[in-house]
């Protein structure tokens, strides 16, 4: 699984950080998302999908390797 963030869409709402702080942080300057682990372990897959689903600007993409 790979997490990517489109910073041009991110509005810095921080919902992803609230959802899973082990995967996401926010830039201290502008609040945009910082992906802490682009290829997280299996036990965080559901949390990554949840964060992407809850992101108000659809800035997060979670791609599952095939």
d(CA 61, CA 42): 16
Confirm or reject binding of residue 57 to ligand SF4 (CB under 6 A): yes
d(CA 21, CA 26): 10
Confirm or reject binding of residue 59 to ligand SF4 (CB under 6 A): yes
Q: Please check whether residue 45 is in contact with residue 1, taking contact to mean a CB–CB distance below 8 angstroms.
A: yes
Residue among 1, 2, 11, 61 that touches ligand SF4 (CB under 6 A): 11
Confirm or reject binding of residue 23 to ligand SF4 (CB under 6 A): no
What minimum distance in Å lies between the beta carbon of 65 and ligand SF4?
21
Q: Please check whether residue 17 is in contact with residue 4, taking contact to mean a CB–CB distance below 8 angstroms.
A: no
- Binding residues (CB under 6 A) for ligand SF4: these are 5, 10-16, 26, 33, 55-57, 59-60
């Amino acid at each position: 699984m790979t997490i990517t963030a489109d910073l041009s869409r991110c509005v810095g709402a921080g919902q992803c950080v609230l959802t899973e702080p082990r995967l996401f942080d926010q830039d201290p300057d502008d609040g945009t998302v910082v992906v802490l682990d682009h290829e997280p372990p299996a036990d965080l897959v559901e949390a990554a999908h949840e964060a992407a689903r809850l992101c108000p600007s659809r800035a997060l993409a979670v791609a599952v390797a095939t």
